[in-house]
Amino acid sequence: MQITRNETEVVSEEHLPAENQQIDSGITPGGNTGAFRDVLASNHARRGKPPVHFADMTPDVRQSTALALNMPKFRVKQLANHYFEHLSTHAESFTDFPADIRATVAERFFPTLIKPLAVQEADEGTTVKTLWELFDGAEIESVLMRYPNRTTLCISSQVGCGMGCPFCATGKLGLTRNMSTGEILEQVRIAAASVRNGEIAGGPGRLSNVVFMGMGEPMGNYRAVMSAVRQISTLAPGGFGISARNITISTVGVVPGMRKLAQEGLPVRLAVSLHAPTDELRDELVPMNKRFNTTAVLDAAHDYYIASKRRVSIEYALMRGINDQEIHARQLARRLNHYGDDWVHVNPIPLNPIEGSRWTASKPEDEQRFLEILHRAGIAATLRDTRGSEIDGACGQLAAKMQTHQQS
C-alpha cells in the first residue's frame, strides 16, 4: 500500500506557535487578514495529500521504509542511482533488484505523481509545454525550452496561484494547493530524461537550467521548493546534479521568503517580479505590494545580493501605457541605483496577453526606449525572449488549459 499523508487544511501563519511559523503553508504571513489576502480557488478547502514518493523521503525515512520491507540498506543507494542518475522509476526494469520485490518497490517508493494529459510544441519543436494531471485530478504545466547553449525547464510549484496579479493567467486561477517535493521533482526528472533521450528537437542533450517560474508562488511553498532545489543541485546519486547557479527562484516579493532564502547558503538566482517602480502603480499590478511594498522588496533583494554574491533578476512585464513610458524607466533606474552598481539585471518582458484581459503588450518603440534609458543609467537590461507565446507557454500565460486534452 502507498504511504499517504494526512489530509490537512492550509492555515494562516499567525495561528501557529512562534517556533512553528514557517513559510510553507501556501498562505503568506498576513495572507488571511489585512491589506492583502491570498486568492483561493473554489476547490481549495481541505484537499488530500499526494502519496509519499522517494523524493519526499529523508535519508532516514528511505532507510526505515526499506527495512520495513526486509530490504538491506544498500538497496536505498541503488534506488537513488536509478532515480537521480538513470532518471527511472520503472522498477520492473531494475535488474539489480530481485524480481519478486520490484512491484513492491514501485508501489512504496515510486507512486505515480504526475501524468501527461497533453503536449504542445512551438519554435520548431524546441519549446514544449506539457499539461500534467496530479493524483487528485488537479492540473499544472511545465515548459521545456532548448536554446543553442542551454536547455531550460520552467516548472510549477503550486496548483494555481494565490497572488492575484490581474495580468497573469495563473493568478486568475487562485490557489488550489501546494505541490509536494515529489511532484516538483518529477517535472525535472521526466524533462531531463526527455532531453537525454533526444525527444526534443536538436537531438540528445542535457537539461542544464531549472527556473521556478511556472504556476505558483515558490515562496508560498517554501519548504517543498527548497527540498526540491537541494535535490536538483546535489550530485548523483543524491540528486540530479544541475548546478545551483543554474536554478532560478522567482517571487512577486514575499519578503520573509526572500530573507530566508538568503540564509540558505545556496547560490541560486533570485528573480523578483517587480513590474512597477512605485507603490501607487504596483499596488494595482501586484496585490502582494499591499503587504510588502517596493522598498521592503528591494531592500530584501539587495540583501540577497550581498549574501549570495549573485546578481538579482528584476522581472518587469511591459504593459502598453501602464508602466512602459520614459518616466517609468527613469523611476525604475533611480530606485535600483539607490542601492549601488551592478547588483541587478533587469528583464523587461513584452507582456504576453491573456484571453479577455485589458492589459496588452507595449509598442516595440516603447520597449526599446525603456531599455535605452536603463542602459544609459548603467543598469544591465535585456529584453526577455517570449518563447512559446503561441501555445500560451510564455511568462504569465500558464493556466493549465489546452485546446484539447490530447497528445499533439
List residues with catalytic annotation.
141, 395
Q: Please state, in angstroms and rounded to a whole number, the distance separating the CA atoms of residues 90 and 102.
A: 9
Q: Please state, in angstroms and rounded to a whole number, the distance separating the CA atoms of residues 125 and 201.
A: 5
Supply the DSSP string of 371-397, one letter for each residue. HHHHHHTT-EE-PPP-TTGGGT-STT-
- Chain center to CA of 200: 21
For the chain, counts of helices (H) and of strands (E):
10, 12
CA distances from 131 to 2, 243, 284, 393, 405 (A): 25, 26, 30, 10, 8
Contact assessment for residue 106 and residue 89, using Cβ atoms and an 8 Å cutoff: yes
Contact assessment for residue 329 and residue 288, using Cβ atoms and an 8 Å cutoff: no
| Surface-to-core class of residue 278, CB atoms within 10 Å of its CB (0-12 exposed, 13-18 middle, 19+ buried) | middle
